[in-house]
Amino acid sequence: MAGAVGVAIAGCGVVGSGVAQMLTKNRGGISRAAGRDVALKYMVDLRKVEVPEGVALTSDFERVLEDGDVRVLVETIGGTGVAYDCTRRALEKGVSVITSNKALVAAHGDELKRLAAEHGAWYLYEAAVCGGVPVLRPLNTCLAGNRVSQLSGIVNGSTNYLLTRMELSGLGFPEALGEAKALGYLEADPADDVEGYDARRKLAILTNAVFGSRLKDDGLIPTEGIARLTERDLVCARALHGAVKLIAHAERAGEGWTGWVHPTLVMEGNMLASVRGVFNALTVTGDCVGDVTFHGRGAGKLPTASAVIGDVIEAVRSGCTAASIERFDSVPAFVSPDEKPVALAVRIEGALPEGLPPALRSVQVDGMTAVLLKPIARAEGMKRVAALREKGVRAGIPLIVLQ
Ligand code: HSE
């Protein structure tokens, strides 16, 4: 093997220290896979953190960039401030940047990918979606010959953990939230998880990979999290033979694409219904391959580090020089899903009220009526249930049904 390729890690929190641990422990195998010796040379942090033997801890980012041995920067700082600045400076020097920072990818990824291409470097972010489950590389390579029509997935592990605890242990939302917080599963701002913003960013990253849509269009995606669900919604879901999951969904719509993040009644028989705890899963439909489902740990120190290391290997194997490949001939626009007919499921406390859109079937359970509505334009269905709630009907928020 030729001389070692130097790696620097900026941001030595949970994921950064996991990457350091893995690079040190599995250096031989990682180097063989990359075709070059891969050496962790610097860890950059303002704090005094523990670093593996032989690795320099520094707060001087400039010194790191001036070291010509450093060809790969792992950015695990998080957020869109310092992380953005460090990423730009590295890419401008032709240093490839690997990140798990989904907020930065969604906010500035379009621009950072362009910058990377201009400087012959990589900007890779497999770890930003589904943690340790490889999804972006398979979509960008193995499945890239397919025309993908749609994808649906559980892409936020913390909310799946909350829903699993509520479903299997009957915990209320606040209790389950407290437990997840104590276990360190939540984002710094738990609203990112429970209001669905994290899932929305990941959906934008996925649709960029399969449709060529803009990363920064994440803000256009209608998003409802799980904060307004109760354990009684989950009881109704089970009575209808399904499970409640926070699903990120996207599909083609004419020349554009549409999608949403929404609590969903996933019917038994769909593999996503049985995904439990912090696990993630994603089903992608290609025109030739049909349905492909990915499943595994969506969060956590070493699963996320595993995805980062996969990108490091990819960058080093290519000689840290990225070929600028544009896979899509145009950028599809986001189309509102308001008019899209969807089946909805609703929990009604007590008997069925007047004014509910037509139902396909309903089931009585624990003093509630679990109702499956006939397909209706998404916005209209939501509006009519909201109007009933305003009139005092005790109805849950509608769940979108996924067969
Ligand atoms: N809060 C995120 C999740 C972390 O639960 O999926 C991994 O992106």
Distance of CA 4 to the CA centre of its chain: 33
**How many angstroms separate the alpha carbon of residue 129 from the centre of ligand 1?**
8
Indicate if the pLDDT at residue 1 is higher than 50: no
Contacts (Cβ under 8 Å, ≥6 apart) of 147: 286, 287
CA of 254 to the centre of ligand 1 (A): 32
pLDDT above 70 covers what percent of the chain?
Answer: 99
pLDDT of 388 higher than 60 = yes
Q: So what's the pLDDT on residue 2?
A: 52
Look up the pTM and report it: 0.96
Average pLDDT, the chain: 95
* Residue pLDDT, tens place only, 239-272: 999 999 999 999 999 999 999 999 999 999 999 9
Instruction: Write out the two tokens for 174.
Output: 């606040």
Model pLDDT, residue 321: 73
pLDDT digits (tens, 9 = 90+) for 125-183: 999 999 999 999 999 999 999 999 999 999 999 999 999 999 999 899 999 999 988 88
Q: Which pLDDT tens digit goes with each residue over 175-218? A: 999 998 888 888 989 999 999 999 999 999 999 999 999 999 99
Active site residues: 202
Site to probe by mutation for ligand 1, drawn from 198, 226, 275, 278 as the one with most ligand atoms within 8 Å of Cβ, is 198
Element (H, E) at 21: helix 14-25
In order of 207, 304, 306, 307, 378, the CA distances from 18 in angstroms are 28, 8, 9, 11, 42
Stretch 15-27: mean pLDDT? 97
pLDDT higher than threshold 60 for residue 114:
yes
C-alpha of 107 from chain center: 14
**Residue 128 CA: which ligand 1 atom is closest?**
8
How many angstroms does the Cα of residue 401 sit away from the middle of ligand 1?
Answer: 24
Mean pLDDT of 46-53: 95
pLDDT digits (tens, 9 = 90+) for 25-44: 999 999 999 999 999 999 99
pLDDT, residue 350, reads 86
pLDDT of 73 higher than 70: yes
**Tens-place pLDDT, residues 276-301:** 999 999 999 999 999 999 999 998 89
Q: What is the pLDDT of residue 168?
A: 92
Q: In terms of pLDDT, which residue wins out, 171 or 323? A: 171
> Does residue 158's CB lie within 6 angstroms of at least one atom of ligand 1?
yes
CA distances from 124 to 34, 77, 98, 112, 333 (A): 15, 15, 5, 10, 23
- The yes-or-no verdict on residue 355 having pLDDT over 70 is yes
Atom of ligand 1 nearest to the CA of 161: 5
Distance CA 214, CA 268 (A): 34
Contact 232, 396 (CB under 8 A): yes
pLDDT at 324 over 80: no
Q: Is the CB of 126 under 6 A from ligand 1?
A: no
Please give the average per-residue pLDDT across 336-365, as a whole number.
Answer: 95
Predicted pLDDT of residue 357: 95
Looking at ligand 1, which residue's alpha carbon is closest to its atom 7? 299
What's at 239, amino acid-wise?
A
Q: Do 382 and 224 contact (CB within 8 A), yes or no?
A: no
